[in-house]
Amino acid sequence: MNPPNALLAAQNLTLVRGGRQVFEDVSLDLAAGEVLLVRGPNGAGKSSLLLTLAGLLHAAGGTIAPDEPQPMHLLAHSSAVKTRLTLAENLRFWRDINGANGLEPGAALERVGLSGLGSIEAGHLSAGQTRRLALARLLVTDRRIWLLDEPLAALDDAGAGLVAALVAERAASGGGVIAATHDDIPGATGTLVLS
């Protein structure tokens, strides 16, 4: 019933957190090559929707297909960076944990504009650089589905361009991206508005 290139589909999702209904009857389809933007005011449940799709929150109603958890990358609010490890150590750790089928840590750092900083501790990075390091984590392991929560937060214009380029590459190479954002990501193929 699903088209062969479908990555993720959700039907009539309803989420209740802390006794409050966060969103109701949300449906979405993500196929290979698509970039879906999730929009809505603060508190509309954008982050919660991503966590639900990642299988970390359980929906009160609705279905997510496929049933079994898919290998996916989640870029959440917090960057999951250890400040006392060097940039290269941080990336090597995620590469070892998630699977080493992506870029080498050095190449990933170069791709996100942090080349030459591999041996300094991540605690010395600025907020924007930390966010870039978090993006590099998505590159060291190749996974088809990316769920990005505010990927442009703390990034400068060049950083925003970088996110757009990475997202476009991911989509072009047969992956799919769902991004919750207030800004525009060029090349988006669809928009879902939560109210």
- Strands, E assignment, the chain: 6-17, 20-31, 35-39, 61-65, 72-75, 145-149, 176-180, 190-193
* Helix residue ranges, H only, the chain: 46-53, 87-98, 105-111, 127-140, 157-172
For other proteins, give the closer residue by CB, 22 or 164: 22
# residues contacting other proteins (CB under 8 A)? 30
Residue 7-46 contact track with other proteins, rule CB under 8 A, x = bound: ----------------------------------------
For other proteins, give the closer residue by CB, 54 or 166: 54
Task: For the CB of residue 69, give the shortest distance to other proteins in the complex, in Å.
Answer: 8
Per CB under 8 A, the list member of 81, 88, 135, 177 interacting with other proteins is: 81
Q: Rounded to an integer, what distance in angstroms lies between the CA atom of residue 99 and that of residue 63?
A: 28
Task: For the CB of residue 102, give the shortest distance to other proteins in the complex, in Å.
Answer: 12
Per CB under 8 A, the list member of 1, 19, 58, 67 interacting with other proteins is: 58
Residue 166 tokens read as: 């990475």
Q: In angstroms, what CA-CA distances link 113 with 9, 31, 77, 110, 174?
A: 33, 29, 20, 5, 24
Residues at the site binding other proteins, with contacts judged by CB under 8 A: 54-58, 69, 71-74, 76-85, 89, 92-94, 96-100, 141
